Structure 1
Amino acid sequence: MTGASDTYELFAIKYARRDGWRSDNFIGGDDDHSSAMPLDYYVWVARNSERAVLIDTGFNAEVAAKRGRGVLRCPIDSLRLVGIDPDSVSDAVITHLHYDHVGNFTLLPSARFHLQEPEMHFATGRHMKNAHFAHHYEPDDVAAMVKMNFAQRVVMHDGPAELAPGIQLQPVGGHTPGLQIVRVKTARGWVVVASDASHFYDNIEKRRPFSNACDVCKMLDAFDTVYLLADSKQHVIPGHDPQVLERYPAPTRELEGIVARLDVAPISHAE
């Protein structure tokens, strides 16, 4: 564990998976209609000797069953795989309020939750009457976030913010109006957890936005912001790409295919 107060170990933890096709994952589809392109679901956690900060909290088994998703493990209990007690998590960043990024609040009794205010406005506003948008939100999770706000457990941000030394929040919008990315200082430099600013490496590297976008122009602008804040293209972590677990080493052999160390150099990357 790193001892510097502004430098972190950073992990991606896979908790669920969904099968899919290349044509599902780009606006306008893809000329290759027959190639599989599955989607992994992750949470991320940054840790040093002073704090543990979770990035997104994932869905639970009930939501998985409702939506036909195959949950592999509880995303919060999975923190124990890297030696983190969920009770020790001081802060949790909610990149946005889509069902697969928010939930399981009761399993984080000590955490404050960090959210961009425009995301809360959108999730509780007039556009939820439109099924295209509402489908991606779980009303119970949104309501729980409102209740936690009344309980003084939500930090609402309206713009860039420093959560702690070495952890920066940057709103980008695009996928949702209040989507935020997270910039984390590690031993190898500044890593950007892009979340759904880029679901896959191919979205940002080929400038082909994911099929679910609230504002396509802002999603394209978000690609530029991600690259601006990351030390290099190899410091960008997409939100749902199975390749993350192939490009980065696991902490132990037993965790291969489940957890990736993002604070160390990739073991492979696409040219």
Structure 2
Amino acid sequence: MYQVDVLVQGYPGKAICHGGLGWSTIALLRGCNRTILVDVGAFGVRRELLKQLRAHGVEPEAVSDIVLTHAHYDHSVNFTLFPQARIWIGDDELTWAERQPPGFDPLPELYVRELANSPRVRRVAPDEVFIDGIRAIAAPGHTPGSLLFHVEVNEPPVLFTGDAAKNRVELLSHDVDATADREASRRTIDRILALWRATPGTILIPGHDLSMQLDDDGHPAYIGRRSAAIAAWFGESIELTTTIDLEKSLEAS
């Protein structure tokens, strides 16, 4: 089994005037003689990621594997910070990503190029058990080669959905925001729900939200509480900040 710790909570929102927040989930798995990160976040999370790793007794050099759900910048760019790690990404995803020209989209072109050429990269096929007890499952829609990661060896199992199901609302509504193929995304949500329901107690960890389990009525229920805020300088002193709380009560959801 793997010990699973969420180092950085994903957040289910986007800025009105500044595009996506890029606040994605980063999780640490330890077990089977491996230290694994599932997704590695965007530039803005670097200090917090290092802080959380060290709080869990892990130095960057000790990370043995990085597992990427897909190639978008907010999930992938920090692979460069882990010099000893093998990097696992879907073969279909990387093949698609490296063929895309620069554009106004979330693909980090130069980092994709590095992934495509790096000897540390291992390309994963759908339905492959590529690390002990962890199976990759095709999840097209958000991107053509997105993958789910099903930690089958754990009791209960853990299902990482990346942005194939970014948040609780997408799971409840069967509809998605920011997808390359809406119908494919809906079929993928059906696949996720079937996997989730197959084993009672399965923990689902999405790309931009809190971890969840199904309650007794079969509805997604959050594990833990959201923690998110912005400190802003609106006054005339560097010491004076205004805190904007983004937690939002979970009882209303």
TM-score bucket (shorter structure):
0.7 to 0.9
Does the CA-based 8 Å contact 2:66-2:79 persist in structure 1?
A: no
CA spacing shift, 1:18–1:236, aligned 2, 3 Å = closer
Read off the aligned partner of 1:20 and give its amino acid letter.
Answer: K
Find the aligned partners of 1:12 and 1:269 in 2 and give their Cα distance.
22
- Residue 9 of structure 1 is matched in structure 2 by 3
Q: Kindly state the Cα deviation for residue 194 of structure 1 after the two structures are TM-superposed.
A: 0.8
Does the CA-based 8 Å contact 1:90-1:110 persist in structure 2?
A: yes
CA deviation map 1:180-224 (0-9, x unaligned): 1111146541110111011111101221212x1111111111112
TM-score, structure 1 length as denominator?
A: 0.69
Q: Which has the larger displacement, 95-104 or 85-94?
A: 85-94
Does the CA-based 8 Å contact 2:5-2:27 persist in structure 1?
A: yes
Q: Which has the larger displacement, 110-119 or 41-50?
A: 41-50
Find the aligned partners of 1:143 and 1:16 in 2 and give their Cα distance.
26
- Residue 213 of structure 1 is matched in structure 2 by 179
* 1:147 pairs with 2:117: yes
Q: Kindly state the Cα deviation for residue 144 of structure 1 after the two structures are TM-superposed.
A: 1.7
Read off the aligned partner of 1:12 and give its amino acid letter.
Answer: V
Q: Which of 133, 152, 169 is the matching residue for 2:136?
A: 169
Read off the aligned partner of 1:237 and give its amino acid letter.
Answer: I
Find the aligned partners of 2:126 and 2:116 in 1 and give their Cα distance.
20
- Residue 75 of structure 2 is matched in structure 1 by 101
CA spacing shift, 1:16–1:202, aligned 2, 3 Å = closer
Find the aligned partners of 2:50 and 2:130 in 1 and give their Cα distance.
20
The alignment partner of 1:10 has SS state of: strand
Find the aligned partners of 1:160 and 1:128 in 2 and give their Cα distance.
29
CA spacing shift, 1:18–1:205, aligned 2, 3 Å = closer
- Residue 222 of structure 1 is matched in structure 2 by 188
Unaligned runs of 5+ in 1: 1-6, 23-37, 65-70, 251-255, 259-267
CA deviation map 1:16-64 (0-9, x unaligned): 8686379xxxxxxxxxxxxxxx87422112112621111111122xxx4
Read off the aligned partner of 2:156 and give its amino acid letter.
Answer: G
The alignment partner of 1:123 has SS state of: helix
The alignment partner of 1:181 has SS state of: strand
Q: Kindly state the Cα deviation for residue 77 of structure 1 after the two structures are TM-superposed.
A: 5.1
CA spacing shift, 1:81–1:175, aligned 2, 3 Å = same
Read off the aligned partner of 2:183 and give its amino acid letter.
Answer: C
Query: How is 1:1-271 mapped onto 2 (pairs within 5 angstroms)?
Result: 7-14=1-8, 20=14, 40-48=23-31, 50-60=33-43, 64=44, 71=45, 73-76=47-50, 78-125=52-99, 127-128=100-101, 131=103, 134-148=104-118, 151=119, 153-185=120-152, 188-210=155-177, 212-230=178-196, 231-232=199-200, 235-241=203-209, 243-244=210-211, 247-249=222-224, 257=227
The alignment partner of 1:144 has SS state of: helix
Unaligned runs of 5+ in 2: 213-220, 229-249
Find the aligned partners of 1:190 and 1:269 in 2 and give their Cα distance.
26
Corresponding residue pairs, total: 221
Read off the aligned partner of 2:131 and give its amino acid letter.
Answer: A
Does the CA-based 8 Å contact 2:93-2:146 persist in structure 1?
A: yes
Work out which structure has the larger RCO, using CA pairs closer than 8 Å and 6 or more positions apart in sequence. Answer: 1
Aligned-pair Cα RMSD in Å? 3.4
